[in-house]
Amino acid sequence: MMQKIVVAGFIVKEGKVLLAKRPKSKKLAPDKYHLPGGHVEYGEDLKSALSRELREEFGIDVEVDEPFFSFSYSTEDAHTIGLVCPAAICSSALDLTLNSETDHIVWSDEATLVQSLRPDDHNFLAAKAGFAKLYSSKTNS
């Protein structure tokens, strides 16, 4: 079985996290919201991969921090390991544009995550962990 690595960004603006909706045409998780990101390519480090994916998919530059959450899942042909990193938009969130990889975006606060993500989804669990990390860093500073 092939192994893949993916990276996702926990991108927060004004207390809300960015969620991206996958096109209905996607084989994996069609028409579902997720934390944006993508596959780590051969020879690429985690932070560079997330920066590249977000630039390709949304036209934004980000500053990526160390991963804080991991997940894994298996499909027919691969076992995928995912890592979630905080990522800060370096320009304006207004610069965010969509390409064919994303149908729609929402900015969700912690209380409204369940409107876009199922509680048993790794994206939901990662977002909850991201909010917990965000709140703990604010109280410790």
29-71 per-position pLDDT tens digit: 778 999 999 999 999 999 999 999 999 999 999 999 999 999 9
What is the residue range of 90's domain? 2-139
Task: Assign residue 42 the CATH number of its domain.
Answer: 3.90.79.10
**Cβ atoms 19, 35 nearer than 8 A:** yes
90-135 per-position pLDDT tens digit: 977 667 887 788 888 999 999 999 999 999 999 999 999 999 998 8
Domain count within the chain: 1
**Cβ atoms 11, 127 nearer than 8 A:** no
